[in-house]
Amino acid sequence: MATLSLILGIIGNVISILMFAAPLKTFKQVVKKKSTENFKGLPYITTLLSTSLWTFYGIIKPGGLLVATVNGAGAVIHIVYVAIFLAYAPKSVRVSSIKLVAALDVAFFGAVVAVTMAAFRPAIRLTVVGLICTGLTIGMYAAPLSAMRIVIRTKSVKYMPFLLSFFQFLNGGIWAAYAVLVADYFIGVPNGVGFLLGSVQLILYMIYRKKPGSEEQLQDDGSAHLYGGAIQMHGEEMIVKNRSLSKGNSLPKPSVVREYSDTLVKARSLSPFELENFGINDIERGLE
């Protein structure tokens, strides 16, 4: 049993590292463009907190080396992600994100470590930290629910990449099996939830993978981020047959474009401030 749990733990480490590395392509683009554009920093900030707490859990748990090492690596990777995000985010976003990092990744994490080490016996300390880690992990595994809702609504898997769902399925399954072997419910419960949600995502993928997407406009502030790895969606890409594509400012509603031209315009999404100041004159200039 010990050998099998070790093998599963090593496999789980490899899969988890692959999931942690999923946003690398995104951050290469951020560095290349020197802008975070519509990307949100919250998923990376909260994942840094989660991996930090799981590292602490692995350190205080007897035989928790595999849990500590993989989450320690994840914490280091997410420190890099957060640093890059803060370096290239707009000033207002940077300030609010720094406050969030200070509150969650420094103050909250530090308080959990200090209080549990000072106020609780080892067994109770492990239980308290385990419950906190379990709650955070279930929340992170539940993040793709919004993508699943979009898939069902649009009948398209465009915004639910197969590999992310597949790795969530594998990661949850492997760590749930590992938890059963080592009798650790704090690892088993959240990863069991992740395994079930990953299974549902794969089923949806098989159902909708060959169906065309709906032309209904997606709402979600122009972007949505899901992290078990990460998904970023920017605006809505509309494909219309027999219409030429040109580059310009994106418009608030597709219907406005059709009133002025048969040309579909595809480009960056506007910020809320830009949308408030977007008028008919801007539309006419964009179409010229």
- Reported as a single tens digit per residue, the pLDDT across 179-211 is 898 889 999 998 998 899 888 888 888 888 776
Same domain, 260 and 146: no
96 inside domain: yes
| Residue 223 within a domain | no
Q: Tell me whether residue 227 is in a domain.
A: no
In this structure, the answer to whether residues 200 and 257 fall within a common structural domain is no
- 279 and 157, same domain (yes or no): no
Mark whether 87 and 190 lie in a shared domain.
Answer: yes
How many structural domains are present in the chain? 2
- Looking at the fold, whether 203 and 252 belong to one and the same domain comes out as no
Kindly state whether residue 222 falls inside one of the protein's structural domains: no
Q: List Cα–Cα distances, 217 to 57, 75, 83, 272, in angstroms.
A: 43, 36, 33, 16
Same structural domain, 69 and 149: yes
User: With pLDDT > 90 as the criterion, what percentage of the chain qualifies?
Assistant: 27
Same domain assignment for residues 175 and 245? no
My answer on whether 65 and 182 are in the same domain is: yes
- Residues 6+ positions from 203 with CB-CB distance below 8 Å: none
Structural domain of 170 = 2-208
State the helix-helix crossing angle for 122-142 and 42-60, rounded to 10 degrees.
150
My answer on whether 143 and 256 are in the same domain is no
Residue-level pLDDT, tens digit, the chain, 288 residues = 678 888 888 888 888 888 888 888 888 888 998 888 777 888 889 889 999 999 999 999 988 888 999 999 999 999 999 999 999 999 888 999 999 999 999 999 999 999 999 988 888 999 999 999 999 888 877 766 777 888 888 887 776 777 777 888 888 899 999 889 888 999 999 899 889 988 888 888 888 877 654 434 333 333 333 333 333 333 333 333 344 444 444 444 444 444 444 444 444 444 444 444 444 444 444 444
Global pTM reads 0.67
Degrees to nearest 5, angle at CA 79 with 38 and 82: 15
35 lies in the same domain as 156: yes
